[in-house]
Amino acid sequence: VKGGYDTFMDKEIHEEPMAVAETLRGRTSPSGRLMLDEMRIGESVLRSIDKIIVVACGTAAYAGHVAKYAIEHWCRIPVEVELAHEFRYRDPVVNEKTLVVAISQSGETMDTLMGIRHAREQGSKVLAIVNTHGSTIARESDAVLYTHAGPEVAVASTKAFIAQITACYLLGLYLAELRGNKYEDEVATYLDELGKMPGRIEEVLESEEDIREFARSLADATSVLFLGRHVGYPVAMEGALKLKELAYIHAEGFAAGELKHGPIALIEQDLPVFVIVPTPRRPLLHSKVISNLQEVRARGARAIAIAEEGDTEAEAYAEKVFWVPRTTPTLMMPLVTVVPLQIFASELARVKGYDVDKPRNLAKSVTVE
Ligand code: F6R
């Protein structure tokens, strides 16, 4: 059942290239135009929306955070990302001009379900991005864009996260095309880039042993920080969540720019700090994160960079670099940068003797509020 892997989580990490490919499959025409047949929300409604609110929990919410950067860039529609349980119990501004996008692997998360019920009561249309066919969230939404990651057995979400980002990107590109935004010309280019991502994830998986070996050297860490900027920020939060839930290590992910606003006080000798470095081809973004890396290193922390091949500055300042292939454009980077973090967390759990597939106190789907 585990396809030769020790754990379902390892198997599912190795299925990530397939998860992207399957989520893309059949959704573009040979001419490169997007076809989302399951988009049962009318085009006139989609043209008239003035806001998107992503409603989700945990890892699925981090996929939503990544999507915000892409959808706002491509579509010029404001995107908010809300944890479903917070969305439901405040008084959110939602109406018929709001598209609520619910993201859920299981499709059964009660917090998310209550969020979409609330949104529909206010007259919004709900689009679900769900992995499990026929699940409650899928049934109760106006339209469903399925992620085709296949069943995810390990409690910690990995391939579903990758597929959720892919599906959100399809949605963003679809809306950009439909609404005739200035980025319409770029749609074909981005679709092409998405199509290359399975191969790039495969490349990251080739360094799995190196990542695992390094992880074992950190087995005694009691606290680990993750920082990132732009799309690296949600990836940092996801890296921290994986480590908490699997290896039971205190971990925190935050926006790299926040470092100087407080968290820098935490930096001390030998503290492991992961820094998700943007591509050097975005010099402004890159130089800021490189200076964070320097600041962390100057205080004696063990700086670990996730960086693009050929990034000599990241190499100069980090104690260790987990390389990812060159990925144009920046928006595609989360699909590769999260992979070393998933492998890292799974290896730390393993060396500590924990159950990688079933971390303590957790359930695969959280069906209570
Ligand atoms: C983390 C994890 C959880 C889920 C969250 C939402 O690895 O698995 O944070 O992402 O409980 O679950 P779904 O996506 O089923 O709604």
* pTM tops 0.80, yes or no: yes
Rounded Cα distance between 220 and 153, Å, is 28
Q: What integer pLDDT is reported at residue 284 of this predicted model?
A: 94
pLDDT of 184 above 90: no
ipTM confidence: 0.96
For the sheet containing 302-308, what is the strand order?
250-255, 223-228, 272-276, 302-308, 320-324
pLDDT of 271 above 70: yes
Q: Identify whether 364 is a catalytic site residue.
A: yes
What are the pLDDT digits (tens) for 209-227? 999 999 999 999 999 999 9
107 CA distance to ligand 1 middle (Å): 10
Q: What is the dihedral of CA 342, 346, 348, 349, to 10 degrees?
A: 140
Residue 137 has φ and ψ, to the nearest 5°, of: -65, -40
Q: Stretch 187-199: mean pLDDT, rounded?
A: 92
Q: What integer pLDDT is reported at residue 273 of this predicted model?
A: 98
Q: Stretch 255-281: mean pLDDT, rounded?
A: 95
Cβ-based neighbour number of residue 216 at 10 Å: 11
What are the pLDDT digits (tens) for 81-126? 999 999 998 889 999 999 999 999 999 999 999 999 999 999 999 9
- The answer to whether 96 and 50 have CB atoms below 8 angstroms apart is no
Q: Which of 2, 196, 358, 364 is catalytic?
A: 364
What are the pLDDT digits (tens) for 116-161? 999 999 999 999 999 999 999 999 999 999 999 999 999 999 999 9
- The residue nearest atom 11 of ligand 1, judged by CA position, is 58
For helices 232-247 and 334-351, what crossing angle results, to 10°? Answer: 20
* pLDDT level of residue 35 (50, 70, 90 thresholds): confident
CB of 359 closer than 6 A to ligand 1?
Answer: no
Characterise 80 by phi-psi region: left (phi > 0), alpha (psi -120 to 50), beta (else): beta
pLDDT of 254 above 90: yes
Record the tokens describing residue 236, joined without a space.
Answer: 């940092």
| Beta carbons within 8 Å of 261's beta carbon, 6+ residues apart | none
Rounded Cα distance between 341 and 358, Å, is 18
- The answer to whether 59 and 238 have CB atoms below 8 angstroms apart is yes
Helices of type H across the chain:
8-14, 16-24, 43-48, 58-75, 84-88, 110-121, 136-139, 159-179, 186-205, 208-216, 232-247, 283-298, 312-317, 334-351
105 CA distance to ligand 1 middle (Å): 7
* pLDDT level of residue 31 (50, 70, 90 thresholds): low
- The residue nearest atom 7 of ligand 1, judged by CA position, is 156
Q: What is the dihedral of CA 22, 324, 206, 19, to 10 degrees?
A: -10
Q: What integer pLDDT is reported at residue 139 of this predicted model?
A: 95
Rounded Cα distance between 40 and 366, Å, is 27
pLDDT of 247 above 70: yes
* pLDDT level of residue 36 (50, 70, 90 thresholds): confident
* pLDDT level of residue 11 (50, 70, 90 thresholds): very high
102 CA distance to ligand 1 middle (Å): 12
